[in-house]
Chains A and B, each alone.
Chain A
């Protein structure tokens, strides 16, 4: 029954089980999501309510923003391990400015610029320094965390103005503002990747960097751009988190890079670049969101939660296993 996992027989057996069409349209992640969704709707009375689903969307927004930026980077066959630290650093800067009575919009914009500049630093090393993205961002992961600790002195920055909290905790026609922000970013990202030359060039670079270069694509500029986008979105995610919490934590975003990468991979994007969609990423992020929500609603023993999460993630990836080839 599980024969179709066997790598060598993949092609013939997948046809036999008629999974081919599903893989062609990358429906694996969506199917995984639907299965988890239905399972939770049956097992938990509180899961399938408008309020809870909006809750899941709100809680997913931070990881979704990180994962959207991460998708741009991974499409170029790169990786950004520093997003969690960029989130923490830019949040701390914004919170510090807010405490100093700087205008909310200005403080937020400065936070976003700090995130973009942090991304630019990554991009410079990757594009012009010709260093492996994994190594560069492993370094900046530590660097930006260190900078956050120096700036905050290891203490949360709290007592942020009420008006700032209305961004993260507020709602428009019943929909939480962070969800709307994420939806807009998602739509813009989708448009950029699927409908513009820039998007096609990003895919081309990830597919074959040398060929893209020979075709006259300014590869270095695009590589820098994706890290800047990723950094800026990490800062945006930081604004969402900080305004939801009403404080900036020196430990914020710790380990978030792994959740973002998981969402991207769950969504069927190839870690080798050139293949994948933002649709997949958003579904990947939602899968992680409903799992966390569901485990809480079902009051699953804390000791078992990580193991269960791991099994579900592996199962969802198996449904889209064509990526592995």
Chain B
């Protein structure tokens, strides 16, 4: 009995302390534009715990304000079940269009099918769903990003030298596509040898260790491609701590930390995605759909090459 009391007291204490630091982030709706708002758009975002998606949300909100449409933002907190409920709620509220940035491409297919039944068009952002009808899918082209990164690396090395390829988490579409774009393009440069292709799981600390190991095996490396910015930053630490200089690093994503390092000359280039732009394109397509106009099935969100001197803030 006593132990049960102690436990429940501890649980209560914990719940209290959690409640006190929780902040209301989900389900806030923004009414933009005063009288002119004819349309209501639902935006179901996978998470707002990541700067990438926060930037996307900003893009959606600012464009909605410009177009004078109302937008309801739902944060799925990376949980497919939560997001499914949120999409159902949006359908109940009879929004004109749903912009969905799915937490999971499998689970959210059922949400898209529900919207299809209710005849509400769905736009997917950054990731799409595996089934159900999607009016338009807006994302940056990962194959293209890999290709651009290869071109920058070739340019940095003057077409000569050994390079390392740090891969993301195997089994993800981002890894497969970025790898394809990079591999196919780097193969066209006869002077460049990819001496190692190793995964570092899109993770900074893993990349630090893997790069340290690879520098042991390949001391003459002149360039390094990291499939995302987190790994580029880990690789940079490994290269600095090994006391090496003159290794050109190219990453993908557009993280602010990397953009800063590029301006300082520590990282050579970055292929930046533009989540804000994805949000803007999403709202533009949504308005077209609401007016009954047609839209393209897929839209490539533009990639931005960032090198020293490029004025780009990153996210």
Report yes or no: B257 in contact with A156, Cβ–Cβ below 8 A: yes
In the assembled complex, the CB of A284 is this many whole angstroms from the nearest CB of chain B, namely 18
Q: Identify the stretch in A49-57, A94-102, A184-192, A221-229 within 8 Å (CB) of chain B at 4 or more residues.
A: A49-57
| A-chain residues with CB within 8 Å of residue B47 when the two chains form the complex | 154
| A-chain residues with CB within 8 Å of residue B23 when the two chains form the complex | 150
Report yes or no: A303 in contact with B170, Cβ–Cβ below 8 A: yes
Closest B residue by C-beta to A131 = B7
Q: A125-B10, A158-B257 are in contact. List 10 more A-B contacts (CB 8 A).
A: A55-B212, A55-B213, A147-B21, A154-B47, A244-B237, A245-B237, A297-B214, A299-B195, A299-B196, A302-B197
Report yes or no: B205 in contact with A249, Cβ–Cβ below 8 A: yes
In the complex, which of the residues B212, B213, B237 contacts A246, with contact meaning CB atoms closer than 8 Å? B237
| B-chain residues with CB within 8 Å of residue A153 when the two chains form the complex | 49
CA distance A130 to B5 in the complex (A): 11
| A-chain residues with CB within 8 Å of residue B209 when the two chains form the complex | 59, 292
- What 0/1 pattern do residues 221 to 255 of B give for CB contact below 8 A with A? 00000000010011001000100000000000000
CA distance A303 to B197 in the complex (A): 11
| A-chain residues with CB within 8 Å of residue B197 when the two chains form the complex | 299, 301-302
In the assembled complex, the CB of A41 is this many whole angstroms from the nearest CB of chain B, namely 13
Q: Does B167 contact A (CB under 8 A)?
A: yes
- A296-B213, A297-B216, A299-B196 given as contacts; is B167 within 8 A of A129 (CB)? no
Q: Does A252 contact B (CB under 8 A)?
A: yes
| A-chain residues with CB within 8 Å of residue B126 when the two chains form the complex | none
Report yes or no: B170 in contact with A154, Cβ–Cβ below 8 A: no
CA distance A267 to B216 in the complex (A): 28
| B-chain residues with CB within 8 Å of residue A49 when the two chains form the complex | 216
Q: How many residue pairs, one in A and one in B, have C-beta atoms under 8 Å apart?
A: 98
Report yes or no: A155 in contact with B217, Cβ–Cβ below 8 A: no
Closest B residue by C-beta to A305 = B199
8 A Cβ contacts from B190-227 to A? 195-199, 203-205, 208-210, 212-214, 216-217
Report yes or no: A245 in contact with B49, Cβ–Cβ below 8 A: no
| A-chain residues with CB within 8 Å of residue B167 when the two chains form the complex | 302
Q: Does A241 contact B (CB under 8 A)?
A: yes
User: For the side of the interface on A, what is the size category?
Assistant: 35 or more
Closest A residue by C-beta to B202 = A251
Q: Does A46 contact B (CB under 8 A)?
A: yes
- A155-B51, A299-B196 given as contacts; is B213 within 8 A of A129 (CB)? no
Report yes or no: A297 in contact with B213, Cβ–Cβ below 8 A: yes
Instruction: Give me the 10 closest cross-chain CB pairs, A-B, nearest first.
Output: A296-B213, A154-B49, A302-B199, A129-B7, A130-B3, A46-B217, A297-B217, A52-B216, A46-B216, A59-B209
| A-chain residues with CB within 8 Å of residue B230 when the two chains form the complex | 156, 249
Q: Does A22 contact B (CB under 8 A)?
A: no
In the assembled complex, the CB of A210 is this many whole angstroms from the nearest CB of chain B, namely 16
Report yes or no: B216 in contact with A241, Cβ–Cβ below 8 A: no
- What 0/1 pattern do residues 143 to 171 of A give for CB contact below 8 A with B? 10001011001111010000000000100
Report yes or no: B3 in contact with A247, Cβ–Cβ below 8 A: no
In the assembled complex, the CB of B4 is this many whole angstroms from the nearest CB of chain A, namely 8
In the assembled complex, the CB of A130 is this many whole angstroms from the nearest CB of chain B, namely 4
In the assembled complex, the CB of A213 is this many whole angstroms from the nearest CB of chain B, namely 14
In the assembled complex, the CB of B126 is this many whole angstroms from the nearest CB of chain A, namely 16
CA distance A80 to B286 in the complex (A): 48
Q: Does A124 contact B (CB under 8 A)?
A: yes
Closest B residue by C-beta to A150 = B21
- A169-B241, A244-B237 given as contacts; is B204 within 8 A of A302 (CB)? no
Q: Does A7 contact B (CB under 8 A)?
A: no
Report yes or no: B205 in contact with A252, Cβ–Cβ below 8 A: yes
Q: Does A293 contact B (CB under 8 A)?
A: yes
| B-chain residues with CB within 8 Å of residue A125 when the two chains form the complex | 7, 10
In the complex, which of the residues A124, A147, A247 contacts B204, with contact meaning CB atoms closer than 8 Å? A247
Q: Does B50 contact A (CB under 8 A)?
A: yes
Q: Does B187 contact A (CB under 8 A)?
A: no
Q: Does B12 contact A (CB under 8 A)?
A: no
Can you report 21 residue pairs joining A to B where beta carbons are below 8 Å apart?
Answer: A45-B217, A55-B212, A128-B7, A129-B3, A129-B10, A147-B21, A149-B49, A150-B22, A154-B50, A154-B51, A244-B205, A244-B208, A244-B237, A245-B234, A249-B204, A295-B198, A296-B214, A297-B214, A297-B217, A299-B198, A302-B167
Q: Does A208 contact B (CB under 8 A)?
A: no
Q: Does A44 contact B (CB under 8 A)?
A: yes
Closest B residue by C-beta to A250 = B49
| A-chain residues with CB within 8 Å of residue B297 when the two chains form the complex | none
8 A Cβ contacts from A270-325 to B? 292-293, 295-297, 299, 301-303, 305
Report yes or no: B14 in contact with A143, Cβ–Cβ below 8 A: yes
CA distance A299 to B170 in the complex (A): 15
